[in-house]
Chains A and B, each alone.
Chain A
Amino acid sequence: MSERVGFFTDTSVCIGCKACEVACKEWNGLPTDDVGYTGHSYDNTGALGAATWRHVAFVEQNRDSSTRWLMSSDVCKHCTSAPCLEVCPTGALFRTEFDTVVVQADVCNGCGYCVPACPFGVIDKSEEDGRAFKCTLCYDRLKDGMTPACAQACPTESIQFGPLGELRERASERLEVLQVAGERSARLYGEDPDDGMGGLGSIFLLLDEPEVYGLPPDPKSTTRDLDSMWRAAARAGAALLGAVVVASLGGRR
């Protein structure tokens, strides 16, 4: 197993150029999105999806007469405790030697369970293809010692790739710099290994609440509750059996 790698997306230097979206599509041979006008600032891809593995969000905020733009390139979080991988019934979703989460296209049968399991709304099933797709953190490039296409293409180093431990340190340092400079709403997202997902493989530096960027504020891996769910099912099943037996006793007419 190699060292765990990931992304650090520093949204404070994102300029919304979408080079990451384009580089990702180019490298991974992904079809075009249904590009049109969403009416949501310069966002014309809308959300992550089966053919959109990087998505740049544009948040326009107005206060009095001033406006600020928040831009952020969203991506799969490659969670420590990844619900998509855990619920996958075929084993198509697996954890690589880089500690990233990838779908094996030759195994996936398109059951769609991973789609509602993801608390970030990342993975989706392709209508045309029938299987589930998401960011692979450029698994093929990693195997050849290369940087993922999006990080390589990013002109401002808003998207940084590297060993996760190193990225976490870099993120804390950057946060400190911004806070000293007076950016008091700056915060890190997904860097805490003790959060509900066991920490994320893609960490972010945000300038506002996560939900403003379309991110869940404090997601929890649902499979943590699996034991209590199976216990509820076992109790309900036992009650069902009891009802069947009791109903069978007594008169037959």
Chain B
Amino acid sequence: MTDGATYEAKPDSYYGRPILKAPVWTWEIPVYFFFGGMAGAAAPFAAVAEMRGDRALAGRAWLVALTGVGVSPLLLISDLGRPERFHHMLRVLKPTSPMNIGSWILSASGTIIALATARSVLGWFPRLGRVAPAVAVLGPALSTYTGVLVADTAVPAWHEARHELPWVFAAGSAMSAGAAVALTGGGAPARRLALAGAAGELAATTLMERRLGPLGEPYHQGTAGHFARASKALIVAGAAVMARAGRRRSGATAGAALLLAGALATRWSVYKAGFQSAADPKYVVEPQKAGR
């Protein structure tokens, strides 16, 4: 190297190998995002129905919330490398760890939802008192903290979407809670929630992909791209059916099924986009060199 020139062999990466490790989370995690989110939106919906004196709707919504929040810990524990140590999640209270905070949110909301459902459906715990204030905080927290959970990583497609992911998950939660309650005969309030969620989710994912720019590439390619496109198609179709034929039982059922599938597909697309983003070093190197 006497002439001052520089060597330029394989620039920008070490044999094209990933800089980041791929996430080790398995299928349970995106499925949990779906169920936990649904429970987080269904619970305040149930509490409002209870306050308005609609006991039938409240009972249906509490059961949807209980289903979501009941399946959630099973999914999460099953994903652990040491499932028997699940309770280690609650040995500390750690604000810098969204997963730790989420474990507390899930534990607290699960307890309240179980008690409120038992009161609403079975008449147990008559002296439980008002659950609405707690549910108004814990429910939305359960639906949106998962956006912070994935965004607080080094994975570019997740971290750079940190301002949009909580909105994607909030809207998807409203959509799936509304759809699930509509599926059980929830009527107009459930359909309105599902439609509002559907509009919100389409808006939030579109905004997220636009703001990510080149880092949003994984959301358009490979498995993540397939699921992102499928979710949009399912949501548009489901919303159309729900809006036009939702008053009929068959229409509500078909619309709800499409919307639930759409919500799940969005979660899967976000999950897969993280893997694709971590696998290619260019998503790490280029924005860091550009000072993003």
Contact = CB atoms under 8 A, between A and B. Distances in A.
B281 interface: yes
Given A89-B99, A237-B166, A112 B14 contact: no
Interface residues of B, number: 97
A176 B8 CA distance: 23
Nearest to B51: A248
A124 interface: yes
Nearest to B165: A232
B24 interface: yes
A154 interface: no
A97 interface: no
Interface in B6-60: 6-15, 17-25, 40-41, 44-45, 48-49, 52, 54, 57
A91 B94 contact: yes
B163 A232 contact: yes
Contacts of B178: 247
Contacts, number: 292
Contacts of B83: 109
B9 A252 contact: no
Given A63-B8, A121-B21, A222-B152, A252 B274 contact: no
B196 A131 contact: no
B285 A228 contact: no
Nearest to B154: A119
Nearest to B13: A211
Contacts of A184: 4
A193 interface: no
Given A87-B97, A87-B99, A214-B19, A252 B141 contact: no
B7 A90 contact: no
A243 B288 CA distance: 38
Given A119-B20, A211-B285, A239 B170 contact: yes
A109 B89 contact: yes
A230 B95 CA distance: 10
A59 B99 contact: no
B260 interface: no
Contacts of B141: 233, 237
Nearest to B200: A243
B262 interface: no
B189 interface: yes
Interface string B69-100: 00000000001111101101101101011111
B103 interface: yes
Nearest to B95: A226
Contacts of B236: none
A146 interface: no
Interface residues of A, number: 85
A151 to B, nearest CB: 23
B107 to A, nearest CB: 12
Contacts of B164: 232
Nearest to A245: B48
Given A109-B86, A223-B96, A229-B148, A247 B19 contact: no
Interface string A228-253: 11101111111111011111101111
Contacts of B96: 86-87, 223, 226
A120 B152 CA distance: 15
A126 B173 CA distance: 33
A112 B152 contact: no
B24 A216 contact: no
Contacts of B196: 243, 246-247
B286 to A, nearest CB: 9
A130 B170 contact: no
A127 to B, nearest CB: 9
Nearest to A251: B188
Contacts of A110: 80-82, 85
A88 B97 contact: yes
A222 B98 CA distance: 12
B187 interface: yes
B187 A218 contact: no
Given A63-B8, A233-B148, A238 B19 contact: no
A236 B21 CA distance: 30
B167 interface: yes
A155 interface: no
Contacts of B19: 119-121, 211, 214-216
8 smallest beta-carbon distances between A and B, as pairs: A110-B81, A130-B81, A237-B140, A214-B14, A109-B85, A61-B9, A89-B100, A247-B193
Interface of A: 38, 40, 43, 46-47, 57, 59-63, 68, 83, 86-92, 107-113, 115-126, 129-132, 182-185, 208-209, 211-219, 222-223, 225-226, 228-230, 232-241, 243-248, 250-253
